[in-house]
Structure formats: C-alpha cells, structure tokens
Amino acid sequence: MEKNTKKVIIDIKDLKKSFGNQKVLDGITLQLHEEENLVVLGKSGSGKSVLIKCIVNLLEHDEGSIVVGDYELTDINEEDLVEVRKKIGFLFQGAALYDSMTVRENLTFALSRLNKSFSKKEINNKIVEALDNVGLPDSIDKMPSELSGGMKKRIGLARTLVVNPKIILYDEPTTGLDPITSYEISHLINDTKAKFNNASIIITHDINCVKTVADRIVMIKEGTVYKEGNLEEFIKDEDPYIQSFFK
Amino acid sequence: MSKKHHQANKLSLNLSSFIPTLKEKGILFFMDVANVVAYLKIVFRNLFAKRFEFQEFLKQCYQIGNKSVGLISITGIIIGLVLTIQSRPPLVDFGAVAMLPGMVAISIIREMGPVITALICAGKIGSSMGAELGSMRVSEQIDAMEVSNTNPINFLIIPRVLAATVMIPVLTLYADAIGIFGSWLGINIKDSISIKLFLNQAFTQVDFMDIVPAVIKSFFFGAVIGLVGCYKGYNAGRGTESVGIAANSAVVTASLLLIIVDLIAVQVTDLL
C-alpha cells in the first residue's frame, strides 16, 4: 500500500473501551488523512460504531489517545470539545432526524447551533444548497415521518453537510436500504468528498459500499485492527476471515 | 439421605439462590439512587449556569396546557359534582346544608384540585415525556443533538421540568374553578341556588391559608412530574421496548412520589 503523504487529521493510538467486563475495543490504532475515505469494516458487534462514537466523545474511551486536529480528546474541556465537534459531521445509522421538526427545522437547528451570527436569509440559502447537494430540494417542508429510509439518510447527510465539516463519520450509511438506494448513497458519499474535499470514516459491512467508496480499509476483529490496506490488497488476501467478507 | 435432611438441603439451596438475588437487587437499587442524585445535580447545575431555551420552554408550556386542559375540565366538573352529591345527605341530616358550598370548596382547593390535577398530569404529561425522550434516545436523536453542540439537558430536560413546574399550578387553579362550578351544578340538582349566593357561601369559609399552601405544593407536584418523566425517558435503554418501559415507569414513579410529596406537604401545612 502506498504511503499517504497528506496531513493526519485523526490520530488514534492504542484505544481501549470496555462495557463492564466486555472489552469492545482492545488497542485500536489508526489514522485518518485529509481528503481520504477510510472504511472501517468488521462483523456486527466488533466495536465499529463504538469507535466513531469515541471520536466525537459521545462515549468516553478508557485508555489510549484520540487526537482530532490539534485537540487530544482525553479529559478534553467543554470549550475544546465544541471546537472538535465543529470539525466533525456525524451521519447516524437511522439518520436520527428530529421527529418533531420539519426538514427545514432540522437543518436550521444544526446550523444555528454552530453559528449564531447567520442571518435568516443566509440560513435559508445554505439549507436550499445542502438539500440540492443530496438531490432532495422538494422535501424542505416535509416531516421525517413522511420520508422513506433512503430519503432520511439523504436528509441526515444534508444536515451533516450544511455545517461544512472537515470530517464526516458515517455509521452504516447503507444498512436497511434496498440495493439501488444503497448504490445511490455510496455514490453520494463520493460526490460529497469530490465537492467538499472532506475526509470520512465510513463504518460498514456492505461490500458494495466498500468497493465504491474506500480509499483505504481497516478491518476490525475482536476489538483490534486485523488488517489494513487498500481494496485490491483485501480482495487478493487469501485469509478465510477476510474472504468471508469479499466473496 | 433422610427425608428431613433432604428438605434441609433443599431449603439451603433455595436460600443460597435467593440471597444473591437480594444482593443484586440491593446493588441495583443503590445504583439507581446514585444515578438519580447525579441526574438532579446535573439538572440543577444547568438550571442556573447555562443559557435558557426560552422558545422551547414556551412550546412545552403550551403542550402541557393544551394536552391536559380537556381532561382536567371533565375530571374537575365530575369531582365537584360527586363531592357535592355525596356530602349533601349527612349535612341535611345535621341541618347544615348551608355549609355545603364552603365545605366542598375547601376540599377542592386544599386537596382534591391539586392532587387530582397532578395525578392526571402524571399520566398524561409524565408518560408523554418518558415516551418522547425515550424514543429520542433509542433513535439516537439525543446523540445527534450532542454532536450538534447542543446540551440535551439544557434543550430537552430543563424546559420540560420548568414548564411542568409552572403549568401544574395554573392547571390546578383552573381545576379548582371548574370543580367549584361542578359543585354548584350538583347543588342545583336537588335545590336551587344562584351562582352569586353559592360563591358567597363558598368563599366566606375559604381562607387565604387554604389557597397558598395548595398552590405551593402544586409547584412541587409539577417539578416531580417533569423531573421523573424526563429522567425515565432520558435514561431509557437502547431497544424499542425501552420506550414503553420508560413511559410506564414515569407514570408509576411520579404518581407514587406525588402521594408522598402530598403527605409531606400536609404535615408541613399542619405545622403552620
């Protein structure tokens, strides 16, 4: 695998996280570079979602270090955490749209919490632009309950994009979607990267999605990094565990 | 092995399986208590230190009032009617029927109005808070809020707790008024009395100290409903069944606590 010369924007070293007696992450080390799509691959329950939740401090890690930009997350204070979270967008597995708000209000909420100085006109322009980017400009006044699963994911991505993050964390973006919508979402991830030059960590076990979006892959097994490489290296690898994903 | 010996062994086996369960339950209880204390600490710290979500507070006040007013109107009028119809025969026997409006008014203002309103709101609002926040927890909306740099305690919990604390006394006063009106209707089933004379008879016997403690305790009732509903919802588990458990548990716990708070309030009022 060629060495990525771009700047490291997330640096994780020897990360450990347990829930009671159950070790979920047992010494994960990985890096995310600028403008890179890093796919984290692994079985359900292997700790992939826990890993990205630790990156935004939704879960506090037990040991090891996570550095996002210039900020080390261990014992981070509230003001610095705000700065870290401004850099990161998070697309949740079920999109996590606020049920009681329309699409417009969902996006306004994200935007106004980040920067209070935006005028109403600026907010409206940014919302329209974000919805255009995900191909759903007509959904602006709909409630989340009126949207399909794929549309919810797209609106979730629009809510993430509207704040213009440098890093996007995708938690199983294609899970529960039909193959066509999964294909569209995977290409949307690539389009987003091409347009905004952001780096992404994509948590998935959908191999079609991996093949579409991955610049680099990290496979997690039993809380540790099992293999790291590009798509070609994974496909050629004869390890039965790896092949169980790719065949 | 003798039969007696076998029975003794069986008993010790049962006891040994019972004691760890008791121990586990004890540990869980104290963990719950610790969680509640930590939750109250966070809520009270954020109540005074952080920015106040005024829009959300107004929205919650509207929701609480709007959701409960119909039910409270119906219940209030029935309570007034029933109290009057039930109390009338003994008072007629003693020739004290003129005391009926005052007696019913005092019962409603001091006890029935606040307690019935609080219990209805515990069912209606407490369960709704538990289910709404529980569902937000399950669908990761609370996590999404946190990632958007919004403190969920400030945005979700504090406006709901304050709205319940403010609105329950308002609803209580409304329930009192409707209940007293129901009493007037109840008297007019058998007798005939003008509303002016009825109110005059009722309020000559109602003291300022009947109203104030009742209003004060309804503030506490509101706080209990808000705090319990939000606690149960916010700390719901991750599965969908947790939403139902949170809603149910919010109603049961809040109702029990309301009765306990009422008992304490009655004791304190008695000392004054």
Strands A37-42 vs A216-221: parallel, antiparallel or unpaired: parallel
Quick check: A105 pLDDT over 90?
Answer: yes
Q: Which residue of A has its CA nearest to B144?
A: A96
The boundaries of the domain holding residue A38 are 8-246
Number of other residues whose CB lies within 10 A of the CB of residue B218: 27
DSSP states of B239-270 as a string?
STHHHHHHHHHHHHHHHHHHHHHHHHHHHHHH
N- to C-terminal Cα distance for chain B?
A: 69
Read off the pLDDT of each residue in A106-127 and give the average, rounded to a whole number. 87
Q: Which residue of B has its CA nearest to A78?
A: B149
B150–A113: do the CB atoms touch at under 8 Å? yes
* Tally of domains within chain A: 1
Burial class (CB in 10 A: 0-12, 13-18, 19+), A28: buried
CA distance B177 to B198: 13
Asked whether residue A95 is domain-assigned, the answer is: yes
CA distance A155 to A153: 5
Q: What share of chain A is helix, strand, coil (3-state, %, to 5)?
A: 40, 25, 35
**Mind listing the pLDDT tens digit for each residue in A149-192?**
889 999 999 999 898 899 999 999 998 888 888 898 999 999 99
CA distance A105 to A127: 10
**Mind listing the pLDDT tens digit for each residue in B161-215?**
999 999 999 999 999 999 999 999 999 998 889 999 999 999 999 988 899 999 9
Look up residue B112 and give its two tokens: 């029935």
**Mind listing the pLDDT tens digit for each residue in A197-239?**
999 999 998 899 999 999 999 999 989 999 999 999 999 998 9
- The whole-chain average pLDDT of chain B stands at 89
pLDDT at B16: 60
| Residue of B143, B149, B150 lying closest to A92 (CB–CB) | B143
Please name which of A52, A42, A68, A67 lies closest in space to residue A17, comparing C-alpha atoms. A52
B135–A99: do the CB atoms touch at under 8 Å? yes
Q: What is the DSSP letter of A7?
A: P
Residue type, position B112, single letter: M
- Collect all residues from A whose CB is shorter than 8 A from any CB in B: 53, 56, 58, 82, 85-86, 88, 90, 92-94, 96-99, 109-110, 113-114, 163
Q: Provide the shortest C-alpha distance from residue B119 to chain A (in Å).
A: 26
| CATH number of A233's domain | 3.40.50.300
A94–B140: do the CB atoms touch at under 8 Å? yes
Is B56 part of the contact surface with chain A (CB cutoff 8 Å)?
no
CA distance A83 to B31: 34
pLDDT at B1: 45
Asked whether residue A1 is domain-assigned, the answer is: no
**Mind listing the pLDDT tens digit for each residue in B229-266?**
999 999 998 788 899 999 999 999 999 999 999 999 99
Read off the pLDDT of each residue in A139-146 and give the average, rounded to a whole number. 94
Read off the pLDDT of each residue in A9-15 and give the average, rounded to a whole number. 95
- What proportion of chain B, given as a percentage, has pLDDT over 70? 92
Asked whether residue A83 is domain-assigned, the answer is: yes
Is B135 part of the contact surface with chain A (CB cutoff 8 Å)?
yes
E-assigned strand segments in chain A:
8-19, 22-33, 37-42, 63-68, 71-72, 88-91, 167-171, 199-204, 216-221, 224-229
CA distance B110 to B220: 15
A94–B150: do the CB atoms touch at under 8 Å? no
| Residue of A96, A99, A114 lying closest to B149 (CB–CB) | A114
More confident residue, B50 or A119: A119
Number of C-alpha atoms within 13 angstroms, CB side, residue B190?
A: 13
Mutate to test the interface with A, among B139, B142, B146, B153 (most CBs of A within 10 A): B139
- Contact indicator for A66, A167 with CB cutoff of 8 Å: no
The CA-based dihedral angle spanning residues B222, B226, B232, B238, taken in that order and rounded to the nearest 10 degrees: 160
Q: How big is the A-B interface in CB pairs under 8 Å?
A: 43
Looking at beta carbons, which residues of chain A come within 8 Å of B149? 82, 85-86, 113-114
CA distance A73 to A67: 6
Read off the pLDDT of each residue in A47-55 and give the average, rounded to a whole number. 93
Q: Provide the shortest C-alpha distance from residue B147 to chain A (in Å).
A: 6
pLDDT at A1: 60
Read off the pLDDT of each residue in B67-77 and give the average, rounded to a whole number. 94
| Residue of B135, B140, B150 lying closest to A92 (CB–CB) | B140
Where does the pLDDT of residue B6 fall: very low under 50, low under 70, confident under 90, or very high at 90 and above? low
- The whole-chain average pLDDT of chain A stands at 91
Look up residue A120 and give its two tokens: 């109403």
Asked whether residue A2 is domain-assigned, the answer is: no
pLDDT at A178: 87
Element (H, E) at B52: none
Q: Provide the shortest C-alpha distance from residue B161 to chain A (in Å).
A: 19
A85–B136: do the CB atoms touch at under 8 Å? no
Is B144 part of the contact surface with chain A (CB cutoff 8 Å)?
yes
Number of C-alpha atoms within 13 angstroms, CB side, residue B129?
A: 36
pLDDT at A16: 95
CA distance B137 to A11: 29
Mutate to test the interface with B, among A105, A113, A147, A159 (most CBs of B within 10 A): A113
Please name which of B148, B204, B117 lies closest in space to residue A159, comparing C-alpha atoms. B148
Strands A8-19 vs A22-33: parallel, antiparallel or unpaired: antiparallel
Please name which of A53, A31, A51, A56 lies closest in space to residue A41, comparing C-alpha atoms. A51
Phi and psi angles of residue A63, each rounded to the nearest 5 degrees, phi first = -140, 165
pLDDT at A29: 94
Q: How far is the CA of A150 from the CAs of A97, A174, B136, in angstroms?
A: 13, 8, 20
Is B240 part of the contact surface with chain A (CB cutoff 8 Å)?
no
CA distance A135 to B12: 69
Is B136 part of the contact surface with chain A (CB cutoff 8 Å)?
yes
- Contact indicator for A173, A91 with CB cutoff of 8 Å: yes
ipTM score assigned to the predicted complex: 0.89
Rg (chain A; Cα; Å) = 18
Where does the pLDDT of residue B15 fall: very low under 50, low under 70, confident under 90, or very high at 90 and above? low
Q: Provide the shortest C-alpha distance from residue A144 to chain B (in Å).
A: 12
Number of C-alpha atoms within 13 angstroms, CB side, residue B145?
A: 19
